[in-house]
Amino acid sequence: MTHPFPSTNTSHRIGFISTRFHGTDGVTLEARKWAQLFSEMGHSCFWMAGLLDAPPESSHVAPLAFFLHPEVQDVQAHLFGTTVRSRETTRRIQDLKERLKDELYRFIERFRLDVLIPENIQAIPMHVPLGLAMSEVMAETGLPTIAHHHDFTWERERFVVSAVNDYLRAAFPGSLPRTEHVVINSMAQKELARRCSLPSSIIPNVFDFETPPPGVDDYNADFRREIGLQDDDLLILQPTRVVMRKGIEHAIDLTRRLDTPRAKLVISHAAGDEGDGYVQMLRERIAEARIDVRFIADRVGEHRGVNAEGKKCYTLADVYPHADLVTYPSHYEGFGNAFLEAIYFRKPILVNAYAVFTRDINPLGFKTLGMSQMVTNDVVARTRALLADKIQQQEWAAINFDLGLKHFSYAVARRKLAARLANLYGEGA
C-alpha cells in the first residue's frame, strides 16, 4: 500500500499514535499541545491509541495498543530482565504486531492521513509489538513522519537487560526515510546521534505563556476548604505522579524540616505504572515525619465537575493559584512539565538538579530554590526566607515568566513544527 505525497501548499491530515492519549501524563499533554498548534496552522488532527479520550469523530480506539492490555502485559513480562526469549514469545510478539498493523492501516485509511506522529512508541519499549508495527507501517507506506520521542530505552534501568535487542535496534527508534526525529532535550539529541547515528531536532515541552494564567475564581475559591486546609496554611504542592523518580521523599523531608504545623504537603496525582512499593515507602516516611500530607488525586482531573463519590473536582489550573510553594525534587525528567506549570502560575519552586534541568533549563537564568539530591540546612533556610519575602517572590515570578515566554512558549513550538513539515514537504508546507 503506497500513499501519494500531497502537494506542499495544502493543509495536512495528521495522525497521532500512542499507547494512550488520556489523563495528564507528559506525552498526552504535549501531544495535545502539538495538535492545537497544528490545528491553528490549518491542519486536521486525528488520534489512535489503546486508551483515548479524544472526540469520537476524530478517534480510532485500538484496545490492543494500550500497554496495560492483558495480552501485551503478558508478552512484555518475558522481554526484560533476561537476555533470551523463547520461540513462543517471538511468535506472540509477531502475532500482536500484525494485529496492530491492521489497526494502524484502518486508522490511516479511515482518516486519509498524510502525516504520522508516533508519540514515544518508538522510543521507550513499553509496548514492543506496537513499536515494531509502527516502523513496518512507516516502511510500507512511505508516509512522512514526525517521530516525537520523550523517553528512550537507555534512560530506564528496567530496560537495560533485554531479550529483544534485535527489535530495539530495528524500531526504537528505526532509521527510515522521510522521518523527522524530534526529542525534548539536548542530552537525548546527543545520545540518539551517538547510539543510533540519527539526527534530530529539539522541541522542548512548552506552555501557553502568551495567555495570562487563570487565578482564583468563584469555582475554585473553596479549594483549600474542600481539602481541609485553612487560609493561613502553607500549601506545598507536589504536582506530579507518585513514582520513584519524582523524589517525593525530599518534599516530605522539606515539609518536616520547615517545622511548622502550618506546612501542609499536597500531592495532586495518583501513583504511576511502577507498582505500589514506592507509595508504601512514602506513607511510612510520612508517619515517621508526623506531618500533614494530603493525597488529592481523587479531587483533581482534566475537567471541573464531580468525582465518583459526588465530591467536587478541580483542574491543576484550579490548584496552582492556591499554592505557596511548588516542590519538584525529581531525580530524573525528560524535560519538566511541572516546572513550566509552576513558573507559568508565578509560583516559587524548589527544583532538584536533575540532569536536563542543569543542562538545558537552569543556564537560561531561572530563579529557583535549588537542591542537589538532598534537603540540606541551607535549602531549608533559603526556603523559609523566600516564603517570608513576598517582594522577592514577585521579582522571581516576573523573571521566570518572561524567560518561559521567550524559550518555552507556544510560539517557539509553532516555529519548530512548521520547520519539521517544511523539511518533509518543502518550504511551502
DSSP character string of 229-260: --TTSEEEEE-S-B-GGG-HHHHHHHHHHT--
Residues in the chain: 429
The reported pLDDT for the residue numbered 428 is 52
What are φ and ψ of residue 269, in 5° steps?
-115, 165
Q: Residue 15 and residue 111: Cα distance in Å, rounded?
A: 8
How would you class 232 by CB atoms within 10 Å of its CB: exposed for 0-12, middle for 13-18, buried for 19 or more? exposed
Distance of alpha carbon 24 from alpha carbon 239, whole angstroms: 11
Cell numbers found for residue 160: 537495560
Alpha carbons 319 and 266: distance in angstroms, whole number: 10
Q: Cα(27)–Cα(120) distance, rounded to whole angstroms?
A: 7
Report d(CA 138, CA 264) in Å as an integer.
Answer: 50
Q: What pLDDT tens digit does each residue of the chain (429 aa) get?
A: 444 433 345 799 999 999 999 987 889 999 999 999 999 999 999 999 999 999 999 999 999 999 999 999 999 999 999 999 999 999 999 999 999 999 999 999 999 999 999 999 999 999 999 999 999 999 999 999 999 999 999 988 899 999 999 999 999 999 999 999 999 999 999 999 999 999 999 999 999 999 999 999 999 999 999 999 999 999 999 999 898 999 999 999 999 999 999 999 999 988 766 668 899 999 999 999 999 999 999 999 888 999 989 999 999 999 999 999 999 999 988 888 899 999 999 999 999 999 999 999 999 999 999 999 999 999 999 999 999 999 999 999 999 999 999 999 999 999 999 999 999 987 555
In this prediction, residue 272 carries a pLDDT of: 64
Question: 264-287: b or e for each residue (b if 16 or more CB lie within 10 Å)?
Answer: bbbbbbebbeeeeebbeebeebbe
> Which residues partner with 409 through β-bridges?
207
Would you state the pLDDT for residue 8? Answer: 41
Long-range contact pairs involving 379-386 (C-beta distance under 8 Å, separation at least 24): 379/254, 379/350, 380/254, 380/257, 380/258, 383/254, 383/258, 383/325, 383/350, 384/258, 386/348
220-406: same fold as 13-206+410-425? yes
Domain boundaries, the chain: 13-206+410-425, 220-406
Cβ contact 350:325 at 8 Å: yes
Architecture per CATH, 220-406: 3-Layer(aba) Sandwich (3.40)
Note the pTM of the prediction, 2 decimals.
0.88
Q: Domain 13-206+410-425: which topology?
A: Rossmann fold (3.40.50)
Distance CA 37, CA 364 (A): 25
For 86-127, the three-class secondary structure string (H helix, E strand, C coil) is: CHHHHHHHHHHHHHHHHHHHHHHHHHCCCEEEEECCCCCCCC
